[in-house]
């Protein structure tokens, strides 16, 4: 049998609803422990309670702790796969962080739940069982960090939370899922072509994320003059365009050596240097803004946090963001 390590970090999957108040909060005993006998039919299971945090409380520090635990356990205990249970609000950020940093090719699967443990139709135990199945499958080796919920297998790079409460919330708008999980087994229908890896030891930078809107001006840049930060990601309009009143603010950040990464606020497609008008992607690129290849804002922020640990050369950052 394969050896699968389960790392619990909290989230709704480890919570319970108070029937009197309706409030959902962490449970004293992790309700997922009741699944252990079912999981033992699939693999030899090792469990660690790493955190008991709702995922809005997770930061890149906790993400780095998870990377370190996984790298160490792979070396010392010869495990064959890892499953991480996590709150769904920031699940895609932790999954993508681990995709870029974890040093092994064993399957690493991140899962969660939309309904807490004592709610009707609770999806946690089922998602955990599906995730262990995927982590124990040979086909999952070398595919990067995977996100498994609601019978679907997604890449950490493409998946995003699309609905506040529906159990089918995790979708990959650009490319669809990589595969499905059924009672009969795990089946992949696509395979990712590229993997990136950054073996970072620290995560100390401060990267901000802004969303652009019609009529946005330079007010936010004036406010930003008083704070110190290392990088900025902007969810720009369409193919990477911005309102003209933002241009001077961006130019002065780039002159101060602060990398500015552009992604699109659209769900699909890449940003590019197509438009030559004031604030268009072409002008912003010529000014030194970095164009990103299809990541959403929160994932581009994770990638900039990680890559800034390895370089602050803007040409190199541009190369890395085109991967
Ligand atoms: N479904 C969930 O897990 C949402 C919860 N607020 C969390 O992210 O911790």
Atom from ligand 1 closest to the CA of residue 114: 1
Nearest-CA residue for ligand 1 atom 3 is 87
Sheet holding 207-211, edge to edge: 207-211, 231-236, 260-264, 290-291
Q: Which of 262, 260, 244 is nearest to 252 (CA)?
A: 260
Which of 33, 9, 6, 7 shows the shortest CA–CA distance to 117? 33
Instruction: Give, to the nearest 10 degrees, the angle between helix 297-307 and helix 314-321.
Output: 130
pLDDT given for residue 31 in this prediction: 87
Nearest ligand 1 atom, CA 54? 9
What pLDDT, in 10s, does the model give residues 158-174? 999 999 999 999 999 99
Distance 114 CA to ligand 1 centre (A): 7
Annotated catalytic sites, by residue? Answer: 12, 88
Q: How many helices (H) and strands (E) does the chain have?
A: 9, 16
Site to substitute for ligand 1 among 10, 84, 89, most atoms within 8 A of C-beta:
89
Assigned token pair, 315:
């040409």
Check if CATH label 3.40.50.10890 holds for domain 3-188: no
Q: Tell me how far apart the alpha carbons of residues 293 and 158 are, in angstroms, rounded to a whole number.
A: 11
Mean pLDDT score, 299-307: 98
Q: What is the pLDDT of residue 246?
A: 98
- The SS3 of residue 107 is coil
The string of pLDDT tens digits covering residues 236-258 is 999 999 999 999 999 999 999 99
Q: Using most ligand atoms within 8 A of CB, pick from 9, 12, 170 the residue to mutate for ligand 1.
A: 12
d(CA 115, CA 276): 48
Distance CA(109)–CA(175), nearest Å, equals 19
**Residues in Cβ contact with 76 at an 8 Å cutoff, skipping those fewer than 6 apart:** none
Tell me where in the chain the CATH 3.40.50.1170 domain(s) lie: 3-188
Average of pLDDT values for 200-204?
A: 97
**Tokens representing residue 22 in the block:** 């309706």
Q: Which of 256, 239, 242, 245 is nearest to 292 (CA)?
A: 239
- What span, in angstroms and rounded, lies between the C-alpha atoms of 249 and 272? 20
Residue 129 CA to ligand 1 center (angstroms) comes to 19
pTM score over 0.90: yes
**From ligand 1's centre to the CA of 61, what distance in Å?**
18
Please give the pLDDT value at position 36.
85
For residue 312, report the distance from its CA to the centre of ligand 1, in Å: 34
Q: State which ligand 1 atom lies nearest to the alpha carbon of 53.
A: 9
pLDDT band at 262 (very low <50, low <70, confident <90, very high): very high
ipTM reported for the complex, 2 dp? 0.97
Provide residues with CB under 6 Å of ligand 1: 11-12, 54-55, 87-89, 112, 114
Bridging pattern class, strands 207-211 and 170-171: unpaired
Question: What is the 160 CA–ligand 1 centroid distance (Å)?
Answer: 14
**Beta-bridge partners for 179:** 153, 188
Listing DSSP states for 55-79 in one string gives GGG--HHHHHHHHHHHHHHHHHH--
Write the residue with the smallest CA distance to atom 1 of ligand 1.
114
CATH no. for 207-321: 3.40.50.40
**Which DSSP helix (H) or strand (E) runs through 253?**
helix 247-255
pLDDT digits (tens, 9 = 90+) for 99-133: 999 999 999 999 999 999 999 999 999 999 999 99
Q: How far apart are CA 233 and CA 246, in angstroms?
A: 14
């Amino acid at each position: 049998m394969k050896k699968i390590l389960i790392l619990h970090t909290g989230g709704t999957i480890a919570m319970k609803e108070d029937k009197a108040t309706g409030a959902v909060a962490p449970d004293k005993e992790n309700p997922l422990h009741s699944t252990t006998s079912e999981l033992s039919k699939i693999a030899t299971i090792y469990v660690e309670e790493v955190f008991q945090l709702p995922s809005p409380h997770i930061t890149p520090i906790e993400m780095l702790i998870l990377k370190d635990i996984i790298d160490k356990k792979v070396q010392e205990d010869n495990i064959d796969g890892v499953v991480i249970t996590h709150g769904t609000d920031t699940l895609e950020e932790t999954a993508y962080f681990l995709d870029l940093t974890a040093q092994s090719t064993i399957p690493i699967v991140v899962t969660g739940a939309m309904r807490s443990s004592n709610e009707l139709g609770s999806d946690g135990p089922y998602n955990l069982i599906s995730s262990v199945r995927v982590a124990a499958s040979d086909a999952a080796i070398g595919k990067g960090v995977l996100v498994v919920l609601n019978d679907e297998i997604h890449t950490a790079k493409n998946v995003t939370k699309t609905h506040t409460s529906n159990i089918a919330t995790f979708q990959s708008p650009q490319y669809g899922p990589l595969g499905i999980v059924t009672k009969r087994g795990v089946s992949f229908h696509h395979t990712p072509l590229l993997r990136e890896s950054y073996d970072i030891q620290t995560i100390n930078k401060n990267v901000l994320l802004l969303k652009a809107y019609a009529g946005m001006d330079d007010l936010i840049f004036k406010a930003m003059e008083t704070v110190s930060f290392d990088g900025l990601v902007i969810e720009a309009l369409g193919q990477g365009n911005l309102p003209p009143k933002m241009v001077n603010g961006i130019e002065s950040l780039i002159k101060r050596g602060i990398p500015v990464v552009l992604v699109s606020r659209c769900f699909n497609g890449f940003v590019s240097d197509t438009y030559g008008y004031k604030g268009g992607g072409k002008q912003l690129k010529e000014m030194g803004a970095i164009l990103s290849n299809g990541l959403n804002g929160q994932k581009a922020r994770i990638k900039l946090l990680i890559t800034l640990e390895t370089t602050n050369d803007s040409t190199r950052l541009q190369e890395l963001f085109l991967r």
